[in-house]
A and B are shown apart, each in its own frame.
Chain A
Amino acid sequence: MIASAKEGFWNKLQAIDQRILYVLIIVVVALPLLRPLSLPITVTSATRTAYEKVDEYSGPGSVIVIAYEFIAGNWPEMGPIAVAMTQHLFRKPDIRIILLAMGRDQGPILAENTLKYIDEMGKEYGEDYVNLGFFAGAEAAMASFASDIPGLVKKDYYGTPIEQLPVMSGLNDLNDIDMFLCLWSGTPGWGEYLRQWQTPYGITVIGGTLGINGPGAQPYVSSGQLKGLVVGLRGGGEYEKLIGKPGEATSGLDAVSTTHLLIIAFIILGNVGYFAGRKRTGGEV
């Protein structure tokens, strides 16, 4: 009777009701958000490289394109990256910034949301930066923009003809762009820009993406096609630290720590149950 109760215990450790796990996740996410732990954030070499490359390629006179290729659902993870990287660029003197989207129709409105969180540092719309909106067609639109900017872009997001926007003057094709910040969450995204922009034109690209896309994008960092890559909430938090402006990622990283610890604790419990149960049944589970 005692032996079977013990076996039952080890089996239960392997199959804890998922509702208990769900409740604990809510608790460990909510607690650090309500009462921050302020765990120190160390900047990894990947994020530091991205930050330094943005510095390197955004000298006076540069023209920089930022593509907001993510959707509303990605905002909690992508928003901090977008805000931190856009803020970094807005601090650069005498550069032109072009915001657009060709893969995700929500891009322009998320670009607007990003601008709400940043200090524009005296930059003026139309003179120093512009939101060109969304271009349907994904890869075809990217190819079209790369080869003939005036042929594709007739108006900005608000309907102003580009002839009236000094920020767009003298831009004919992708050779006139110095750096491209690709903030993507899926497809269409980096893969399409790689084919239509980076490979044929050799444009300098710095990326920002979801944690789940990080491993898939890593080969492009190794090959140099992505000069730098900021990944997930962790990358966003590190970038916020580098620009000295803590934001949503910094506050969210405490919750990431507690949640990951909880998951690891559950994995350990499951394995303890598995090995103890196997020992009692002589290796059969």
Chain B
Amino acid sequence: MSLLKGKQIPIGITLVVGLMMIVNYYFGAALPAVKSTTTLIQNWTVIVAAFALIIGLINISRIHINHLLKRSKGQWFFSLWCLAIMYIMIALGLFGTTKNPGYQWLYNYVFLPVDATMYSSLAFFISSAAYRAFRARNVESILLLSSGVVIMLMNAPIGEIIWTGFPVIGDWIMSVPNVAAQRAIMICVVMGSVSLGLRTLLGMERGYLGREE
């Protein structure tokens, strides 16, 4: 019973499945039995992940129904709106498929422009941040400032009208210093990922199992 309450079973499943995936990745072609088993498990994962969407639906409903019941100040109206739109979209999608004209209309004429507007509003914040942060205070900031300006001019057609050298310098910045720095970051991330993967397989990293009681 204590075995069921504890975390040994999930850790054991993680270890076995994780090792199987690693073996399949490197030796799958030579081990057909391992390959077919991992393919089956991967297909199961897709089904399990689909159920995670239902958990998301339950979670978001619970949070917003709670706000509604408590009449949370400055929030309940948005919660009502969120739940209404969410369930309308679900109903239209489930009963009329995503081809339903109502679903298409809500997606293309409400959701898409609203989402694009939110994303586009970044232009204001980035402009303001560039104006305030790009000060030639020292050598490092001069390098940042000058490369930022060159990349901006490289990405805009007006840049090469001003000077044909901007795309050339911009291309060099992107393919030499940028690639060097990105590769260094990637190698560090990969080393961290390998370490995290090993810790997870060995049961030392248990964050994915939820909070310790």
| Partner-B contacts on A (CB < 8 A) | 14-16, 18, 21-22, 25, 29, 39-42, 44-46, 71-76, 105, 108-109, 113, 135-138, 140-141, 143-144, 147-148, 151-152, 157-159, 200, 211, 214-216, 218-219, 221-222, 232, 234, 237, 253-254, 256-264, 266-267, 269-271, 274-275
Known A-B contacts A25-B123, A200-B25; A260 and B158 likewise in contact (beta carbons under 8 Å): yes
B39 touches A42 (CB 8 A): no
Tell me the chain B residues, 154-173 only, with Cβ under 8 Å from chain A.
155-161, 167, 171
B149 touches A21 (CB 8 A): no
A72 touches B43 (CB 8 A): no
Known A-B contacts A73-B115, A136-B53; A108 and B98 likewise in contact (beta carbons under 8 Å): yes
A215 touches B157 (CB 8 A): no
A-chain residues with CB within 8 Å of residue B108 when the two chains form the complex = 113
A148 touches B123 (CB 8 A): no
B-chain residues with CB within 8 Å of residue A158 when the two chains form the complex = 97, 99
Q: How far is the CA of A266 from the CA of B149 in the complex (A)?
A: 12
B152 touches A263 (CB 8 A): yes
Chain B window 109-130, contacts with chain A (Cβ cutoff 8 Å), 1 for yes, 0 for no = 0011001101110011001101
Q: How far is the CA of A105 from the CA of B52 in the complex (A)?
A: 13
Say yes or no: is B143 at the interface (Cβ < 8 Å to chain A). Answer: no
A-chain residues with CB within 8 Å of residue B134 when the two chains form the complex = 267, 270-271
A22 touches B124 (CB 8 A): yes
Closest chain A residue, CB of each to CB of B181: A215
Chain B interface main SS type: helix
Interface size on B, residues (CB 8 A): 58
Closest chain A residue, CB of each to CB of B110: A72
Q: How far is the CA of A42 from the CA of B127 in the complex (A)?
A: 25
Q: How far is the CA of A40 from the CA of B167 in the complex (A)?
A: 14
B-chain residues with CB within 8 Å of residue A256 when the two chains form the complex = 155-157
B-chain residues with CB within 8 Å of residue A216 when the two chains form the complex = 182
A219 touches B127 (CB 8 A): no
Say yes or no: is B35 at the interface (Cβ < 8 Å to chain A). Answer: yes
B-chain residues with CB within 8 Å of residue A157 when the two chains form the complex = 98
Say yes or no: is B59 at the interface (Cβ < 8 Å to chain A). Answer: no
Q: How far is the CA of A48 from the CA of B102 in the complex (A)?
A: 40
B49 touches A141 (CB 8 A): yes
Say yes or no: is B90 at the interface (Cβ < 8 Å to chain A). Answer: no
A219 touches B135 (CB 8 A): no
Closest chain A residue, CB of each to CB of B112: A72
Say yes or no: is B72 at the interface (Cβ < 8 Å to chain A). Answer: no
A-chain residues with CB within 8 Å of residue B35 when the two chains form the complex = 147
Query: Which of A44, A71, A264 has the most chain B CB atoms closer than 10 A to its own CB?
Result: A264
The contact of B127 among A25, A136, A138, by CB within 8 Å, is A25
A215 touches B182 (CB 8 A): yes
A136 touches B50 (CB 8 A): yes
B-chain residues with CB within 8 Å of residue A200 when the two chains form the complex = 25
B149 touches A267 (CB 8 A): yes
A109 touches B157 (CB 8 A): no
Q: How far is the CA of A250 from the CA of B39 in the complex (A)?
A: 44
Q: How far is the CA of A113 from the CA of B98 in the complex (A)?
A: 12
A-chain residues with CB within 8 Å of residue B50 when the two chains form the complex = 136-137
A21 touches B131 (CB 8 A): yes
B-chain residues with CB within 8 Å of residue A40 when the two chains form the complex = 157, 161
A144 touches B39 (CB 8 A): yes
Say yes or no: is B136 at the interface (Cβ < 8 Å to chain A). Answer: yes
Q: How far is the CA of A103 from the CA of B183 in the complex (A)?
A: 24
A234 touches B155 (CB 8 A): yes
Q: How far is the CA of A260 from the CA of B130 in the complex (A)?
A: 11
The contact of B156 among A29, A137, A234, by CB within 8 Å, is A234
B-chain residues with CB within 8 Å of residue A237 when the two chains form the complex = 157
B43 touches A144 (CB 8 A): yes
Please give the distance in Å from A250's CB to the nearest CB on chain B: 10
B-chain residues with CB within 8 Å of residue A39 when the two chains form the complex = 157-158, 161
Say yes or no: is B65 at the interface (Cβ < 8 Å to chain A). Answer: no
Tell me the chain B residues, 9-46 only, with Cβ under 8 Å from chain A.
25, 28, 35, 38-40, 42-43, 45-46
Known A-B contacts A215-B178, A264-B149; A73 and B118 likewise in contact (beta carbons under 8 Å): yes
Task: Sample 22 A-B pairs with CB under 8 A, ordered by A number.
Answer: A25-B123, A39-B161, A75-B112, A109-B98, A135-B46, A136-B46, A136-B50, A137-B45, A144-B42, A152-B46, A157-B98, A216-B182, A232-B155, A253-B157, A256-B157, A257-B157, A260-B156, A261-B158, A264-B149, A267-B149, A270-B134, A271-B135
